[in-house]
Amino acid sequence: MKIIKHLKNNLYFLKYVMDFSKSYVIGQAVVALIDGISPLIHIILPKFIIDELIKGNDFKKIIIYVLIYILLQLMVSLISSFIKERYININGHLYAMHFLLTINKKIVSLDMAQLDLPDTHQKIALAKDIVHKGIGMNLINSFFNCITSIVVIISTSLIVITADSRLLFVIVIFSLLSIFLNIKNENWILNQREENIYLTRVLNYYIGIMGNKTHAKEMRMFGFSNWLMNKYYKTLKSLKVRLKKLYSRSLSIKIINIFFENIKTNGIYLFLAWKTFKHEITIGGFTQYFNATSQLSNAILNFMSFFTKLTINGKYIDSYRSFMELESNIENDNISLCFDKVKLNKIQKIRLENVSFAYPNSKLNILENVNFTFESGKIYVIVGENGAGKTTLINLIARLYEPSKGNIYLNDIPINKINYKEYRNNFSIVFQDFKYFSFTVAENVALDKYKENSKEIDEKIISALDKAKIWNKVNSLPNGINTNLDKIFYEDGVILSGGENQKIALARALFRDSEIIILDEPSSALDPIAEDELLSSFKEIASDKMVIYISHRLTCANIADQIIFIKNNTIHETGSHQELMDKNGDYARYYKTQAKHYVSHQASTSA
């Protein structure tokens, strides 16, 4: 049953390789056919040349044989080189990039909750490992080498049998012994793989930190590069111990194989030399038979290796398949309705009913028993202490995570009954850890909606930049909205400040013109004047939308139709700013604590 499973895994991955490049597979087939024929050229023609040299009767025949030999070699080499360079090598160069992109595309499709699990990251590393090992290419190569080997086995066996059938028996026995040793070694290597991959992941993490520009300032200012290097070398030492044991075992197997290979080769050589000495075969025959036994040994090894590689590759591919067959729980949740069916012409409200949430494998609720209704056309400001669950709340609303308990409704329809892509299309979000990309300003704002030389799109981009109060800056750049950000790829790239990048992220959210806008600390990098300008224009921006605004800076409180104060993992207080101040509860204390620094400074200045 395991063999069948491994075979299915190979066929599963073969489909991916075929989708990647059919020309590579066809090219390998042609080269395999050539490789199957070419050994016969080196076995048969030298015999005729040597025999004619010994006879010394007709030098013209020798010239003809040599010319045929040269011509056939030249044709085989030219055809094989052309196919390899034109179809095989170019695809081999792109193979790793293609499959790594396929893996990363799968990563993007998974739920955030899945990406919070160490097990998922281990599966990602194992999947990428088979790409780095070139398993897909090896699978194709092994298959066509097997076909080649069959041709070589049949042709060389017929030649070897004419010398002595016992040679065939010896070659098969030694080949089986070699295969057995290699299988034992490969299986042992596979058993070490999980731990080795884990340690490699840790090392790559340290390397990533040291090579990441975003960590450079901390490393310089806190001077912890040596400490980090020590952690790296400590992990490297553990991996070295394991690898040393692994390669020592592999070396032992290779030494045994080399020992038996020498016994076989030299034994056959002496046996054929004895037959030549006894005049049972000619000197040309000696060369032909010895070359034939060598080619036959390699062909049998390649043929048997194909089936062992099917098993070994099947085990490697199993880890790739295990990852690629992971499915998003949110995407595959019971989708029975969509926007078109339920005729949601406009979003009216989002309602949370007894919503609780805990991260995977955690018993601690980040949010507990949350009940609230957000309505379109209103601005909501969510405030609370660090770790209160503010960002988690918007992640649940945006359906990046699913509630552990309770339900979320859109216009009284459970959101897990609505197509998740259609649902998310109604959100524009500026995340707390927003990202900009090394693209143009226009591409950063419009993303996949960007079109070159589209006046309509350009005008929409400019409008979004203007609303985000960053248009004047962008307009002053050398190439306007077509200016490249960052200097990773472009010498003329522009590096914006943190506040300017935050405005670009806000423009990206406004460009989509979604009915729901979520802003997680959108002014954290803005100066007070820039924040005031942004807040002043917010009523106009949000007039017909549902806006959810998270901030620690309570300067935004006055724009809110309703403030949500989160404490102890639930909604503790709600109301307008004035209502909550009159209530003189936790929000009022929170506000006064922050405001007193401005008030005391103003009082001392006046005095």
Q: Smallest Cα–Cα separation from 508: which of 528, 491, 529, 485?
A: 485
Task: Work out the number of other CB atoms within 10 angstroms of the CB of residue 523.
Answer: 24
SS3 label, residue 439? coil
pLDDT confidence of residue 525 = 61
| 2-324: CATH superfamily | ABC transporter type 1, transmembrane domain (1.20.1560.10)
Side by side, which strands form the sheet with 365-375? 365-375, 349-358, 405-410, 413-414
At 367 the three-state DSSP class reads strand
Cβ density class 234-270: b for 16+ within 10 Å, e for less: ebbeebeeeeeebeeeeeebeeebeebbeebeeebee
Output the pTM of the full model: 0.77
3-class DSSP state of 374? strand
Q: Which residues contact 284 (CB under 8 A, 6 or more apart)?
A: 46, 47, 48, 49, 50, 51, 54
pLDDT value of position 96: 80
User: What are the extents of the domains in the chain?
Assistant: 2-324, 333-426+516-521+541-607, 436-513
379-384 and 546-550 as β-strands: parallel, antiparallel, unpaired? Answer: parallel
Give the per-residue pLDDT at 597.
Answer: 62
Where is 517: in which H helix or E strand? Answer: strand 516-520
Token code pair at residue 374: 């957000």
**Would you say how long the chain is, in residues?**
607
Distance CA 571, CA 555 (A): 20
Residue 147, classed as helix, strand or coil, is: helix
Strands 546-550 and 516-520, bridge-based pairing? parallel
> What are the Cα distances from residue 314, in Å, to 102, 145, 265, 308?
19, 18, 32, 10
Asked if 520 and 550 touch (Cβ cutoff 8 Å), the reply is yes
H-type alpha helices, 325-368:
339-342
Say if residues 540 and 576 touch (Cβ distance below 8 Å).
Answer: no
Tokens representing 279 are: 């005049």
The CA distance from 449 to 446, in Å, is 5
Specify which residues 370 forms β-bridges with: 355
Domain 436-513 in the same topology as domain 333-426+516-521+541-607 = yes
Distance CA 277, CA 315 (A): 51
Alpha carbons within 13 angstroms on the beta-carbon side of residue 192 total 20
Please identify, in words, the CATH class of the domain defined by 333-426+516-521+541-607: alpha beta
Query: Could you state, in chain order, the average pLDDT of each consecutive group of 10 residues for the chain (607 residues)?
Result: 76 81 80 76 78 78 85 87 82 81 90 89 90 77 80 86 89 89 85 89 88 75 83 92 90 90 91 89 86 88 82 85 88 54 69 92 88 91 86 90 92 87 86 84 91 90 90 91 87 85 88 87 69 70 82 78 90 91 90 71 45
Distance from C-alpha of 156 to C-alpha of 428, rounded to nearest angstrom: 69
What are the angstrom distances between the C-alpha of 555 and each of 499, 500, 521, 551, 558?
17, 19, 12, 9, 7
Q: β-strand 405-410 against 413-414: which pairing, if any?
A: antiparallel
Measured distance CA(163)–CA(334) in Å, rounded:
71
Looking at domain 436-513, its CATH superfamily turns out to be P-loop containing nucleotide triphosphate hydrolases (3.40.50.300)
Q: What is the DSSP letter of 589?
A: H
User: CA 566, CA 386: separation in Å to the nearest integer?
Assistant: 10
* Spatial separation of the C-alpha atoms in residues 189 and 195, rounded to whole Å: 11
